[in-house]
Structure 1
């Protein structure tokens, strides 16, 4: 129980970190600058050993005890949702709320207006980049890989389920359709994140 709580709260902290990255992305006009600054969230996560679903899912492939790792992933996903939602709710009370809410609604309109298949493919590509980013940092310790991969997935329009948890809450667009889209994004991120590790095992 104590270990589960530790996993969950580290995931909440990771969700807050992603929300901070999402906030700066929504706050700047220059998309390239915004995509680079967004990476502060992932950098904080890997430096502090926090639990981010898209940073953990790729390692399921190499786990011998998959059942316990799937439980970790489930708690991580829930914690990320709680953290991003908590951050978004807090932002409703600050002076920048109106401008970033408007930007979030525009972003969410595009995502929720897309087809399920398109969302899924875009999420797969994001999952690939997230694995490359996190594993590359683990192997080399160079943060440049984080900034490159995150910037690429944002500028390319790929779908990141945890970032979207934040955008959906901030924009106030939660619905049954939104939740289904989030699950599709999660599935795509999961398959994309496991693709390279699976290929490496062949």
Structure 2
């Protein structure tokens, strides 16, 4: 599970199917597991030596850019990202075959990546890897980052990005998709509950 996709779960609460406490518990566990998994994958990449080159340099550039974003920009990019991601989840559930599900997910996800939007779980990985690579000359040199840009890559930069992006992801998924679709389909949901 991904935390970002689970931001659609409040639809179940609004429809009267899922207690809010269960949603919040799910979010907490899934977010923690996503963070742990991101750190683990970043560590595997780091210790494999696969990022001791221009690949690592690019990861440092990406992380530095993310950690340099002002709060409001990171928050807004988080909203835009998860609006698209949760719509992809919604569309994949509406598709009735595997090919339809793949297409429903592929294009929206490519759109958020190409647009530079902020995804909390993807950022967990990039920023964790950058924190590990920061002391690796083979990755730092090809990054071309100044000392000032490298200094942004820090635990403070990590949380300074992750907090507003996560909040934005919640707003994008809950407000722009779950609540919106609840109001569109609330009469149908009421009919389902009665039967």
TM-score by length of 2: 0.74
How far off is 1:135 after superposition?
A: 1.4
| Separation in 1, partners of 2:157, 2:48 | 29
Q: Deviations over 1:113-138 (max 9, x none)?
A: 22111111011000101111111111
User: Following TM superposition, where does structure 1 have runs of at least 4 consecutive aligned residues deviating by more than 6 angstroms?
Assistant: none
**Pick aligned residue for 1:175 from 155, 159, 175:** 155
> Which residue pairs with 2:65 in the alignment?
110
**Pick aligned residue for 1:189 from 169, 173, 177:** 169
* Contact preservation (8 Å) 2:8, 2:86: yes
The structure showing larger relative contact order (alpha-carbon pairs under 8 Å, at least 6 residues apart) is: 2
* Contact preservation (8 Å) 2:2, 2:34: yes
Greater CA drift, 135-144 or 152-161: 135-144
Structure 1 residues without counterparts, runs of 5 or longer: 1-50
Q: Helix, strand or coil for the counterpart of 1:97? A: coil
* Contact preservation (8 Å) 1:60, 1:70: no
* Contact preservation (8 Å) 2:85, 2:109: yes
* Contact preservation (8 Å) 1:126, 1:159: yes
| Separation in 1, partners of 2:2, 2:110 | 17
**Pick aligned residue for 2:35 from 51, 75, 81:** 81
* Contact preservation (8 Å) 2:71, 2:160: no
| Separation in 2, partners of 1:111, 1:56 | 23
How far off is 1:59 after superposition?
A: 1.7
Larger radius of gyration: 2
For 1:34-183, list aligned pairs within 5 A: 51-63=1-13, 64-99=18-53, 100-140=55-95, 141=97, 142=100, 143-172=102-131, 173-183=153-163
> Which residue pairs with 1:3 in the alignment?
none
CA RMSD of superposed structures (Å): 1.3
Count of residue pairs the alignment pairs up: 152
| Separation in 2, partners of 1:180, 1:60 | 26
